[in-house]
Amino acid sequence: MSHIQIRNLSVHYGEHQVLRDISLEIPDGQIVAIIGPSGCGKTTFLKSLNRLLDLYDDTRVEGQVLVDGADIYAPSADVCALRKKMGFLSQRPYPLPMSIHDNVAFGPRIHGMKSAVEDHLRKAGLWDEVKDRLHTPASRLSIGQQQRLALARTLSVEPEVILADEPTSALDPQSVKIVENQFRVLKQDYSVLLVTHILRQARRLADYVIFFYLGELVEHGPAEQFFLSPRDERAQAYVSGEIS
Amino acid sequence: MRIRRLKEKIFRFLMAASITFVVGLFTAIVVTVVAKGAPAMSFAMLFECPKGGYYLGQGGGVANAIVGSLYLCMGALLVAAALGLPAALALQKEYSSSWLSRGSRLILDILWGTPSIVYGAFGFVVMIALGIRASLLGGILTLSLVMLPILVRSLGEVFRTVPLELKESAYALGATRAEIAVAVVLRQCVPGVMTALLLAFGRGVGDAASLLFTAGYTDHMPGSLTDPVASLPLAIFFQIATPIPKVQARAYASALILLILVLVINLISRFLGRRLSRHLIQ
């Protein structure tokens, strides 16, 4: 049984339905790319998996998301524990208003864990660039470095899954390359869900693809199969670049 | 095209005229205070308490009022901050429904605009009921009420500027609302919190009416929380109300001291704010 199972998930923002009756099992230990035209519900889907949607007004979630067999929307669910388990990387990095070191140490501290700042900065491919200035403000890093710091921060609470929401969209090509390489390494230890609007990125990284269109789950399957011969015509149109 | 350029010119003229007027007005106030107060300024003004016959032009100074004002305002600011910071955090949308925070904002805005004599009267009534006489304690508590609305309202506006995405990145680590309030919101808002405290201090340090019945007035240094205490605004009021020119000049000197006091507090808090805000996320 896989880590994450989704049953009949629908999400509404006020009157507007953003996700329609999604049922899906997310394969473990792979990079799963979530693709589709903008506004199709990719980010909403990702944020429904760690209940970040709770932060928005007027949001309604129906259906079930099972993580390790337990429904995360059950009233008894521990949201903090869930979010610790499901690491999240946002589109634009937002370092916490503290030093580089404290950004990575904050998560372990609130969860009462031992922090391994160096380890996590190494895993995110940032250690060599910051080891001499760990106690300077994180805000002075470049955007590309900030995103890798965000990755180190995400890893610091030892999640089981990494949810990444277009994590390279604000980065320069060089940083994109570094972050993508880190993802390839990370999938050995984590399941990675990667929302991307860059088809080429999905081709480069994904083992498995989920395709959304207008809030509907249109097609999902192993990446090779999806890109070679998508079954649905909307997926065909998207892969061939007719819709974007 | 000519009409648009004309409009642009008129608009620029209006802006320049109003800024000149505003700056000019405040310059006039400062110049008046300095011009009339500086001649009466002396070592004794700053460091001595009023001696016998001070209000008739004999020797002494307003050290009692300077120290009294500092005690009153610092004390009131501490009380107001101890109540106001948690209150402002609680009015964030994570904790309060929108009708609660909207309602509270409306009430605070009304309180903000309420004349401070009303606070003074209220404080006086409460003090009578509790059997407290005009004292430093009474002044501190009443003045903290004067400061609270401005403090909570401006802190609320400051907290609202924290980007949701920034809080989101802490939520995504599994942090609780309280952890985020302390580690993220307060840290990110250090300069804004400083400004809010300054605004509240500024409102308190210049206020005479709320202290008239609650803190009383004395020619001595404040000794304990239960003693009456002098304050600069009241010192100005009493001196300027006399017919003696020498004493009136001392009122301006006292006003000058008040101005300098506010300036110094302002500079200190700016300096502290800058020191504490090196980690801010732009």
- Write the DSSP string, B101-118: HHHHHHHHHHHHHS-HHH
pLDDT at B274 over 90: no
For B165, the closest chain A residue by CA position comes to A94
B224 or B281, higher pLDDT: B224
Residues 6+ apart with CB under 8 A from B196: B150, B151, B154, B155, B158
Low-confidence ranges of chain A (pLDDT < 70): 1
Burial-class residue A240 by CB neighbours within 10 Å (0-12, 13-18, 19+). Answer: exposed
What digits encode the pLDDT tens for the residues B23-66? 999 999 999 999 999 999 999 999 999 998 888 888 899 999 99
Q: Hey, which residues does A12 pair with through a beta bridge?
A: A17, A60
Q: What CA–CA distance (Å, rounded) separates A39 from A20? A: 13
> DSSP character for B182?
I
Q: Can you say how many angstroms the Cα of residue A107 is from the centroid of all Cα atoms in its chain? A: 17
Residues of chain A with C-beta less than 8 angstroms from the C-beta of B173: 83-84, 106-107, 110, 153-154, 156-157
Which of A53, A96, A143 to mutate to probe the B interface, most B CBs <10 Å? Answer: A96
Contact A84 B281 (CB under 8 A): no
Give me the pLDDT at residue B275, please: 81
For A54, the closest chain B residue by CA position comes to B94
CATH class of domain segment(s) A4-94+155-239? alpha beta
Q: Residue A97: which of B94, B174, B188 has the nearest Cβ?
A: B188
Residues of chain A with C-beta less than 8 angstroms from the C-beta of B281: 94-97, 138-139
pLDDT at B282 over 80: no
Q: Looking at this protein, which amino acid is placed at residue A59?
A: T
Closest CA to A82 of B176, B219, B262: B176
Residues of chain A with C-beta less than 8 angstroms from the C-beta of B183: 96, 98, 106
Give me the pLDDT at residue A1, please: 56
What digits encode the pLDDT tens for the residues B75-132? 999 999 999 999 999 998 888 888 999 999 999 999 999 999 999 999 999 999 999 8
How many Cβ atoms sit within 10 Å of the Cβ of residue B165? 13
Contact B172 A106 (CB under 8 A): no
For A83, the closest chain B residue by CA position comes to B174
pLDDT at B278 over 80: no
Distance from CA of B58 to the nearest CA of A (A): 57
Q: What CA–CA distance (Å, rounded) separates B210 from B122? A: 9
The CA distances from residue B169 to A23, A109, A176, B132, in Å, are 27, 15, 20, 50
The pair of three-digit structure tokens given for residue B178, joined into one six-digit string:
């309280």
Give me the pLDDT at residue B82, please: 97
pTM of the model: 0.85
H or E element: which one contains A34? Answer: strand A31-35
Closest CA to A27 of A52, A6, A50, A53: A6
Q: What CA–CA distance (Å, rounded) separates A150 from A163? A: 12
Determine the average pLDDT of the residues in B203-213: 93
Residues of chain B with C-beta less than 8 angstroms from the C-beta of A110: 173-176, 179
What digits encode the pLDDT tens for the residues B134-192? 999 999 999 999 999 999 999 999 999 999 999 999 999 999 999 999 999 999 999 89
